[in-house]
Structure 1
């Protein structure tokens, strides 16, 4: 048995949690006021996001300085890994709820409503997907899989390859490969977001596919929109990791921040594969 025990790093008291709490309060209260046309609402939301950005830069910057200062040992590394693992699990459950809604509507609700109970619904009801519901004023065109969605699928899969290539470069000490792989991954993520923005514009302007297009429109934009938000978050984290790599951070032995972002990005890739099959293809 070792005669020495590893010291567990205990950080100093931090002011950042209170800033995070204040940011969430401002965003929530401001959004409620904004939706109800109370004048300070939009300003409160803006102040909330500004406070949140300050908190994120300050708190994560402090963690980076502590990590680069050699204050973290194996126990802290295990804590970070467990924390990131549970965070990704919570994100899995987040998307599972939305996929569950789509499954319930398509596999359970529509067939049940079409089995002799359509008289309770609206004239012209058909137990078929996609379904616009009774309130859609004009017909819409469902989003096809073979076009921008298929291109975006290839882009995200390619980004997983470039990120893995960057990881190999880090493990073998090839700093150039690490930086180039990360830069390519960020570029692919940005291209994905630009194509998704174009797809949304095309849906609204030319296909009459909007959030008001019944259950199809709401589930389509809910699932793809939240995924786009996660791609944005992942690309932002990759930019931070890229900047740190350029500054010379990370070694082959100690690079959990890189691994954590890579886990998150691969999770985003896998979710998109499910989205492509279930939302666009089937």
Structure 2
């Protein structure tokens, strides 16, 4: 039996198995997060299709209402929060927990501002006569879609607050700080937070584009 051939067969077998092995090595928490993201994306896709269909069937005039300026401002704020959070990984790798805490705190603050601007946007719509239970369904979908998105942002903010408190707690002691930096569990938490936050950010940009197009 040719040992070189056996060695080659073993290497080929390992190469074929490597994709499956990499999949098996993905942490279960990340797999759950990806399933959640797919579920959320599917839900909003269905809502957007229903919204566009209702808008088209009822032939809602584009000049009936002015687009809420607070929705535009909230988009800028959310994009800014995504940029700020994108700095978190570099700060973590630099072992700079103090700046990491500030980064997470700034992201949390921008998330609160985003939610507040959304509320002001709803008030602006209401002032124009766009009601939640309007006859043509136009306002119903506007409130439901944007409201559900805010709910998912708030869920991300809760998790963000948990991570922020852990960073602040670890930064108060050198030993806890070292454990926090070297523990892959906390690195994974930060990865999950960033993934989810960037997802809801991109989702809102898509929703905003559809809202703007139909106006």
Query: Which category describes the TM-score, using the shorter chain as reference length?
Result: 0.7 to 0.9
In structure 1, C-alpha distance between the alignment counterparts of 2:204 and 2:113, rounded to whole Å: 15
1:195 maps to which residue?
A: 117
Structure with greater helix percent: 2
Runs of 4+ in structure 1 deviating by more than 2 angstroms, as ranges, are: 103-107, 127-131, 140-143, 201-204, 249-253
Deviations 1:227-252 (A, max 9, x none): 11111111111111111111127426
3-state DSSP class of the match of 2:27?
Answer: helix
1:210 matched to 2:142? The reply is no
In structure 2, C-alpha distance between the alignment counterparts of 1:234 and 1:143, rounded to whole Å: 30
2:39 maps to which residue?
A: 90
Indicate how the Cα distance of structure 1 residues 195 and 252 shifts in structure 2: closer, same or farther if over 3 A, else same: farther
Deviations 1:149-170 (A, max 9, x none): 1111110000001101122101
2:53 maps to which residue?
A: 104
1:189 Cα deviation from its structure 2 partner: 0.3
1:256 matched to 2:179? The reply is no
Deviations 1:2-43 (A, max 9, x none): xxxxxxxxxxxxxxxxxxxxxxxxxxxxxxxxxxxxxxxxxx
Q: Structure 1: any 5+ residue segments left out of the alignment? A: 1-74, 111-126, 132-139
In structure 2, C-alpha distance between the alignment counterparts of 1:271 and 1:252, rounded to whole Å: 33
Indicate how the Cα distance of structure 1 residues 198 and 78 shifts in structure 2: closer, same or farther if over 3 A, else same: same
In structure 2, C-alpha distance between the alignment counterparts of 1:276 and 1:105, rounded to whole Å: 17
1:240 maps to which residue?
A: 162
1:225 matched to 2:174? The reply is no
1:144 counterpart (52, 67, 70): 67
Aligned residues: 182
TM-score, normalised to structure 2, is 0.76
Conserved? CA contact 1:209–1:217, under 8 Å: yes
Indicate how the Cα distance of structure 1 residues 221 and 176 shifts in structure 2: closer, same or farther if over 3 A, else same: same
Conserved? CA contact 2:132–2:143, under 8 Å: yes
1:16 maps to which residue?
A: none
3-state DSSP class of the match of 2:59?
Answer: coil
1:253 Cα deviation from its structure 2 partner: 6.1
In structure 2, C-alpha distance between the alignment counterparts of 1:143 and 1:226, rounded to whole Å: 22
2:82 counterpart (146, 152, 160): 160
2:207 maps to which residue?
A: 275
1:82 Cα deviation from its structure 2 partner: 1.2
